[in-house]
Amino acid sequence: MSAIKRVVENDFIDRVSADEYRDKIKDVYGGRQGALLATASRISLHIQLGKKLIRSRQFDVRGMRSILDIGSGAGQLAAHLLKYADRDARITCIDLCQNMLCRARRRLHSNRPAYIAADLSALPFADESFDGATCGYVIEHVPDPKAGLGEIARVLRPGGRMLLLTTEDNFAGAWTSRIWCCRTYNRRELRQMCESLGLRWRQELWFTPLHKALRAGGICVEIERIGRGDVPRR
């Protein structure tokens, strides 16, 4: 299985410069594939299952005053934030691709969020600006994942929580990598990387009991930003 996975998985992100890769991702999501993203997410049930996580309070957004939706895409997670976050919560949607932000705005039919084109590797926000975040299938598109996660840690307040979803290094993840030109993550290694940056894994989440039994659906975890003095030294 691992040999097949290596053949299927797309290694483009490791073969080109960071600038070349970002240009490729802008083309992918700004073009035909990006236009079909919301439909693909609905067919794969990711929209419905993501809604379940937030509606059931497995990831509880109540009490969050400012929420950053990282890599908003077509607004799949932002739609749930608009519905289940507090009415006075400030929601900021960012995406590398301006076309995706336009699609999110049209799909959400809401001017409540701020829509900002931004690169996760260099977020245009002050330290500790947010007490909540969602990051759905984004960090697999970051050339330097440690830099991207470090930026999330920087803009989250201590005690702030994030819902992180990303592609796992299994056979299904390899096909996702092939289609969307992204990398995959080993669960243990990703956890170690997060925790070295002060992003503590509070709990691993699963869409359904079947997903948990089959270890399917990718990596889905609630993460807490710990205080700077509590970050382990490496």
Euclidean distance between the first and the last CA atom of the chain, given in angstroms as a whole number:
34
* Domain boundaries, given as residue ranges, for the chain: 2-230
Cα separation, 186 vs 183, in Å, equals: 10
Q: Report the percentage of the chain scoring pLDDT > 70.
A: 96
Percent pLDDT > 90 in the chain is: 88
- Comparison of pLDDT for 160 and 216, the residue scoring more: 160
At residue 1, does pLDDT exceed 70? no
* Calpha distance 56→216 (Å, rounded): 20
The larger pLDDT score, comparing residue 227 to residue 21, is at 21
Cβ burial 63-100 (10 Å sphere, 16+ → b, else e): ebebbbbbbbbbbbbbbbbbebbeeebbbbbbbbbeeb
pLDDT digits (tens, 9 = 90+) for 91-102: 999 999 999 999
Q: What is the mean pLDDT of residues 136-156?
A: 97
Q: Does residue 114 carry a pLDDT above 70?
A: yes
Q: Are 217 and 187 in contact (CB under 8 A)?
A: no
Q: Is the pTM of this model over 0.85?
A: yes
2-230 has CATH 3.40.50.150 classification: yes
Kind and range of the H or E run holding 106: helix 98-108
Beta strand pairing call for 130-136 and 219-225:
unpaired
Which three-class secondary structure state does DSSP give residue 17?
coil
CB 67 within 8 A of CB 135: no
